[in-house]
Structure 1
Amino acid sequence: MSLCEGIVQVLQQEAERQSFHKVNRVRLEIGALAGVELSALRFGFDVVSRGTLAEGAALEIIEQPATAWCLMCMRPVTIQQRYDPCPECGAYQLQVTEGEELKIKDLEVE
């Protein structure tokens, strides 16, 4: 719920800054390692946005894969979860480079 409250707060701040009064669609990019339960986020957004400029807005989620740099192979690899071995060489010396983000990609507003 706190994530949803934060999203709505950002929307309200941007509405003041950019002079819009209604949000029709919100597109979020969420990384595979962000630790976000997508169904809970959808439900929470519907609840938290009631009575705000985002009430009734469509919530579109773009899932981003997780990538890491393998220190043994010296190349980027895609991983499914944190602490996975490298899919190329099996080493565990991976540094996560993408997949932890949660950001508002864009909005459709009036």
Structure 2
Amino acid sequence: MHELSIAMAVVEQVQEAAAEHGHVAASSVSLRLGELAGVVPQALRFSFELAAAGTVLEGARLCIEQVPGRARCAGCDTEWATGVPPSLWCPKCRGSAADLVSGRELHIAEVRWTVRTDPPVTASPHEES
């Protein structure tokens, strides 16, 4: 299950960012995940919960934005949704796709940090002399 190694890498990157910027906790992390990336979102969610335990991401929500697969034809420059499994034949001219335009993404799009609120400073009782 490579989803666990992906979740661990996400947690590690967020931990590094937290340390660099002085954050102590995150409330959510958003990922852009291409439908052709070969990652099962439910398995990634489960793995994220395990990997986040004891870190700045413990209890944080994992938001996954699915990015549809799109291809572009080398012959006529038509772009289309590939679907799953991907169809790489141009629907217009029946040529083969030159490249995948989207759908293989897997990156952190956003981290929402928990704002630390320091406890109010209470004045110590004034001592009389």
How does the TM-score come out when normalised to structure 2?
0.78
Aligned to 1:47: 50
Distance change (3 Å), C-alpha of 1:82 and 1:94:
farther
Contact persistence 1:8–1:49 (CA under 8 A): yes
1:56-71 correspondence runs (5 A): 56-71=59-74
How does the TM-score come out when normalised to structure 1?
0.91
1:1-110 correspondence runs (5 A): 1-80=4-83, 81-110=85-114
- Tell me, which stretches of 5 or more residues in structure 2 are unaligned? 115-129
Per-residue CA distance 1:68-93 (angstroms, 9 max, x = gap): 11112212222114453223333333
Per-residue CA distance 1:18-71 (angstroms, 9 max, x = gap): 211101011110011111011100000011111111011001100011111111
- Tell me, which stretches of 5 or more residues in structure 1 are unaligned? none
Q: Higher Cα Rg: structure 1 or 2?
A: 2
> Larger RCO: Structure 1 or Structure 2 (Cα < 8 Å, ≥ 6 residues apart)?
1
Identity rate of aligned residues, in percent? 31
What RMSD over aligned residues (CA atoms) do the two structures have, in Å?
1.4
Q: Which has the higher strand share?
A: 1
